[in-house]
Amino acid sequence: MNRFLNKGMVATLQRRMASQLLINDSKYAFLKELGIKENNAGVFHGKWAANGQTVQSFAPANNSPIANVQNGNVKDYEIAITEARKAYNDWCEVPAPRRGEIVRQIGDKLRTQLQNLGKLVSLEMGKISAEGVGEVQEYVDICDYATGLSRSLEGKIFPSERPGHALLEQWNPLGVVGVISAFNFPCAVYGWNNALALVTGNSVVWKPAPSTPLTAIAVTKLVEKVLVANNVNPALCSLVCGEGDVGQALVKDKRVNLVSFTGSSEIGKIVGQQVQARFGKLLLELGGNNAIIVNEDADLNMVVPATVFAAVGTAGQRCTTTRRLIIHDKVYDQVVERLKKAYAQFESRIGCPLDSNTIIGPLHNQQAVGKYKASIAEAIASGGKIEYGGKVLEREGNYVLPTIVTGLKHDDPVVLRETFAPILYVLKFSNLEEAIAINNEVDQGLSSSLFTTNIQNVFKWMGPKGSDCGIVNVNIPTSGAEIGGAFGGEKETGGGRESGSDSWRQYMRRSTCTINYSKELPLAQGIKFE
């Protein structure tokens, strides 16, 4: 038998492989409407070109390949950062309101493909369709927010102690913002960063998660159209899909003025050390081992749906997912029983994220399924009781049952460790001070919530001896943050803030300016040279 295939056999094999790609299934026609092809360049720096290895993006619902992507390599990254800096040199001098107008148009362009892009997020990441569309809507919303911000970026004017002097702050762009995003929010995290970075006068280089390149390519194609239509250098929003070598090049590069990294605390710690070693600026959005506290006076009709939403949504793969439920011992049994009934109602609605009936989609990959199984086994070995779930579903794809575990101590290692899966550890407390201590004992400090009807408890929870998290909620879940507030957390969550409030300041540098408009020269500390 010949060692080599003839041209006809190669062509037949290629056609067979292409037919297995989901992009060639009419069910997924929306992919081509987004500009996705069988073979896609994963690098954009004003033009689409890539020189790295070709990989496939897979659908977590069935582990089938969606399409091929040629990744970028370090050489491609070098081109992208060079072109992004060139684009910055022009963009930083564009008046902020004009920059806001471009960002507004990006939001409008996203609106035209809201449903299609939402479906792609669902297909490639695995979250249900409503969540996929909702994620794209977050990008649209932050574009609206940034448009308004472009006319209200402010600096302060202070009273000067010197006659004939003005003392004020001036804010200027940083330069290039490098965005490394995670698989669980493949569109929104980039959007939060991109809209604010652009309106504050920066260019952006995006390195998306290796497993969600198609979403990044589709988003970048839409942004490219807006930039080109406005005669803006499209390298302003560059993209380099790739593996760790690309991420390392970006993180260590002094030409990248701010690195915005979303991912695990373990990798974030490495990124933080490397960026700090070159005195770069950091924006870290890392892990979260989030808790809901249910006080004895809580409205349980609010507690149960809030907990289910926050613990089960996105199959437990949000950084704000509720992983610990801390219940007052007087209502503990009642809440657990109601939760078990609520969970059981959803079992028949676990399935393909693109189906309208689906409430719970798959985990992102088989590695996540493995971590789910390992955490369940560790919980049982530590004395935990599986009240509901605890099983992998035997079907194609990466499906597991959402799980409720009781009987563990609040400081068991498996409870203190974040597992990116729908596992809820249920704990008891007898007074609010104890519950707050349990909430605060984990390494992360992202999101937290207290359910109570006592106003004194509310302000204790929000105060200096309350939750140590960046997000401190009352009578709502730990997930579902609004864009108007700053999003981020404390401790091993990283300390970064994205989206609303004054998060824009992280994308700019501040200068304190003293202007002498008099004919005199008063020196500091009353010193005089005669």
pLDDT tens for 408-454 read: 999 999 999 999 999 999 999 999 999 999 999 999 999 999 999 99
Give yes or no for a contact between 395 and 417, defined as CB atoms under 8 angstroms apart: no
pLDDT confidence of residue 5 = 47
Q: In whole angstroms, give the CA distance from residue 155 to residue 158.
A: 10
Q: In whole angstroms, give the CA distance from residue 306 to residue 479.
A: 9
Q: What residue type is 203 in one-letter code?
A: S
Q: In whole angstroms, give the CA distance from residue 522 to residue 159.
A: 16
Give yes or no for a contact between 295 and 458, defined as CB atoms under 8 angstroms apart: no
Domains of the chain (ranges plus CATH)?
A: 38-286+496-511 (3.40.605.10), 290-482 (3.40.309.10)
pLDDT confidence of residue 4 = 47
pLDDT confidence of residue 478 = 98
Q: In whole angstroms, give the CA distance from residue 344 to residue 475.
A: 24
DSSP 502: T
Name residue, tokens 């400090």.
Answer: 445
> Which string of DSSP letters, residue by residue, matches 334-371?
HHHHHHHHHHHHHGGGBS-TTSTT-SB---SSHHHHHH
Question: Residue 67 forms beta bridges with which residues?
Answer: 57
Beta strands in 352-422 (DSSP E): 385-388, 403-406
pTM: 0.95
3-state secondary structure (DSSP) of residue 397 = coil
pLDDT confidence of residue 339 = 98
Name residue, tokens 């911000």.
Answer: 149
pLDDT confidence of residue 524 = 77
Q: Establish whether 285 is a catalytic residue.
A: yes
3-state secondary structure (DSSP) of residue 233 = coil
Q: What residue type is 67 in one-letter code?
A: A
pLDDT confidence of residue 241 = 98
pLDDT in tens, 127-169: 999 999 999 999 999 999 999 999 999 999 999 999 999 999 9
Q: In whole angstroms, give the CA distance from residue 89 to residue 457.
A: 52
Q: In whole angstroms, give the CA distance from residue 197 to residue 508.
A: 8
Q: In whole angstroms, give the CA distance from residue 23 to residue 278.
A: 43
429 phi/psi in degrees, rounded to 5: -150, 165
Task: Tell me how far CA of residue 414 lies from CA of 370, 422, 434, in angstroms.
Answer: 15, 14, 20
pLDDT confidence of residue 15 = 53
Which pair of tokens denotes residue 231? Answer: 């005669």
Give yes or no for a contact between 371 and 421, defined as CB atoms under 8 angstroms apart: yes
pLDDT confidence of residue 10 = 41
- What strands, in cross-sheet order, belong to the sheet with 281-285? 43-44, 237-240, 203-207, 176-180, 258-262, 281-285
Question: Residues 83, 285, 387, 492: which is the catalytic one?
Answer: 285
Nearest Cα neighbor of 177 from 487, 495, 508, 501 is 508
Which helix (H) or strand (E) is 102 found in, with range?
A: helix 96-112
Task: Tell me how far CA of residue 82 lies from CA of 176, 259, 321, in angstroms.
Answer: 10, 16, 38
Which pair of tokens denotes residue 81? Answer: 């950062």
What parts of the chain have a pLDDT lower than 50?
A: 1-5, 9-13
Q: Distance of alpha carbon 459 from its chain centroid, rounded?
A: 29
Name residue, tokens 């290692």.
Answer: 413
pLDDT confidence of residue 523 = 82
